[in-house]
Amino acid sequence: MWDVGTGEGNRTARLSGMNISQELQNLLNANDFDSANEMKLVVGNTGMGNYKELKRYDRYIGLRCVPELSMIEIDHMGAEFGAIVTISEVIESLRKNDDGGSPSRGGDVLKNIANHMEKVASEFIRNTASIGGNLVMAQRKCFPSDIATILLAVDSEVDIMNGARSETIMLEDFLKRPPLDPKTVLLSVKIPNWEAVRKGSPETVAFQRFSCIFIMKITRE
């Protein structure tokens, strides 16, 4: 395995002060992986053990130690999680955002997202699997992801990188695309703050109200 950002493993690729998108893409291009059988980006690699993915690859590139992909930011605009943040870390961060102050629609949604995610899989898998890896499995393998379901309900977005091109798209559009090629990287997941966007169009507000009811329902089941 190539461990990006550390000196571990048999073959190592180090990240320095360069922009993460630039250096990671340089690594992928340098190894000239043209076949989907040759290379796989991994964090916990739970697809192999826990989800019975039997396919073997020539190279595995570990992303666990890339700081830019482990970022967690929660502010008045919403929550953003780097792709390698584990499901358990997402749950913990969303709950920490509840400061015990006056209740709000946005705070209730984040809390209910955390409650629902805690029902997904086992504690071991939640501690190991990354939020980005889960969504990539859903996109590439049509994996029936509860994580994708709850994030779709709150109008989440994802940042992806392919070559020199980076873009932010709706999670729904991401899941509808053809399976990602090996060199396309999911960088982060964004959950909007409903308080910040509730002044949007009537269509957006109506969608959000429907989503909120959906979230409340599934987290109480």
Domains (range + CATH), the chain: 2-220 (3.30.465.10)
| pLDDT tens-place string over residues 91-135 | 999 998 765 544 555 678 888 999 999 999 899 989 989 999 999
Sequence letter at residue 63: L
Q: Are 107 and 210 spatial neighbours (Cβ–Cβ below 8 Å)? A: no
- pLDDT of 221 > 60? The answer is no
35-44 per-residue burial string, b: 16 or more CB within 10 A, e: under 16: eeeebbbbbb
Sequence letter at residue 214: F
Indicate yes or no: pTM above 0.85. no
